[in-house]
Amino acid sequence: MLPNTGKLAGCTVFITGASRGIGKAIALKAAKDGANIVIAAKTAQAHPKLAGTIYSAAEEIKAAGGKALPCVVDVRDEQQISSAVEKAVEKFGGIDILVNNASAISLTNTLETPTKKVDLMMNINTRGTYLTSKACIPYLKKSKIAHILNLSPPLNLNPLWFKQHCAYTIAKYGMSMCVLGMAEEFKGEIAVNALWPKTAIYTAAMDMLGGSGIESQCRKVDIIADAAYCIFKKPKSFTGNFIIDENILKEEGIKNFDVYAITPGHPLLPDFFLDEQPVIVTKESATHELKEEEAQPPPKPRSGAVEGTFRIVKDSLSDDIVKATQAVYQFELSGEDGGTWFLDLKSKGGNVGYGEPSDRADVVMSMSTDDFVKMFSGKLKPTIAFMSGRLKIKGNMGLAIKLEKLMNQMNARL
């Protein structure tokens, strides 16, 4: 973990989405220096599924050694942004750092993304970041520190990152384009940078998205907080950068990254928008296995392998698995022994079979028969298959990720 230096003592940090998760972690790191934190977030009353409000975050910030100003802010509302900025300046005398953290996500393809979701992502991610920056810039110009930090990815134009969730990618890249433009526009006055994690970060939102068990494949929010702290210590001339958390911490001399893992030694999920091979962020044994797999030509699909896999899956089903999953999966498999198959985890006891399910599928997965067998036997992670384009998914992404846990339970038998 990166030690605090006290450099942010007395500085005012305006953070959107700071009531929980990454935003709150950055707030608490700065608070340990004695910083003033403006908690600009929507949650004033406790959410039934997501812990934390602007007021509970304020108490934690004060306990950590900082001062707090909780403000109800929906970044889609320009008036709420302006009001929070005015209150911050009135209470603390200015704004030194802005963190654009508020974000919305829907990992759905074009036809599966309702207009309401498109508008939500565009208005929170891109427009919200732009308007909050615009409101803070006059005060940031007067600061000796003067940083804007957007939690957004490098502008990677590989089509892979567009084809499965085009609207989300556009909305996140809008945040990154604000970095590109504003860094140049305010060069010498304000440092404007982007920060993105190398691996998945465990938050309540990730729990909802990935389902139970996803945390073992994630790092703690602390790694983003430490990376952000490194950036805040840089001069204004450090601007226009798209920073990966692990890289900047390595530059600071951090060598042990197990301290950031939820489950030290467990393979980690690579984050979106990074083309680096997943083997880089997996444990040594997983790396060896993947490299061996890449070095060999892909084997021909075994005759009856898919049918055999489904037979084992059927034998493994139980009412408990059905109750915990509640989803119908359809598989469109290419190659020998392929065709349309289904896995029904809604009906009592569950069922599998050849052809389309009797009820409409919640998730449709398209892949080769060989990759299907590898996925269910644990030789190919579904997330890695999806991110590399070998697996196409239509429907409920949360339920798709849920299937990975079921696969892990079956690996020993396949």
Which residues are tagged catalytic? 168
The phi-psi region of residue 378 (left if phi > 0; otherwise alpha if psi is between -120 and 50; otherwise beta) is left
Amino acid at residue number 106: S
Amino acid at residue number 238: F
Write the DSSP string, 317-344.
--HHHHHHH-EEEEEEEESTT-EEEEEE
Residue 117, token pair as written in the block: 């979701």
Residues 6+ apart with CB under 8 A from 228: 26, 29, 99, 149, 195
Q: Are 403 and 363 in contact (CB under 8 A)?
A: yes
- Three-class SS of residue 192? strand
Q: Could you tell me the end-to-end alpha-carbon distance of the chain, in angstroms, rounded to an integer?
A: 40
Instruction: Output the CA angle 53-396-160, nearest 5 degrees.
Output: 100
Identify which of 315, 305, 313, 411 has the alpha carbon closest to the alpha carbon of residue 368. 305
| H-type alpha helices, 114-259 | 115-121, 128-140, 160-163, 166-185, 204-210, 222-232, 245-251
- Three-class SS of residue 151? coil
Q: How many secondary structure helices (H) and strands (E) does the chain include?
A: 16, 12
Identify which of 74, 76, 64 has the alpha carbon closest to the alpha carbon of residue 34. 64
In Å, how far are 36, 65, 266, 276, 393 from 271, measured between CA atoms? 31, 32, 15, 10, 17
- Three-class SS of residue 38? strand
Q: Are 344 and 357 in contact (CB under 8 A)?
A: yes
For residues 6 and 1, give the distance between their C-alpha atoms in angstroms, rounded to a whole number. Answer: 15
In Å, how far are 98, 211, 240, 321 from 139, measured between CA atoms? 10, 41, 20, 55
- Three-class SS of residue 33? coil
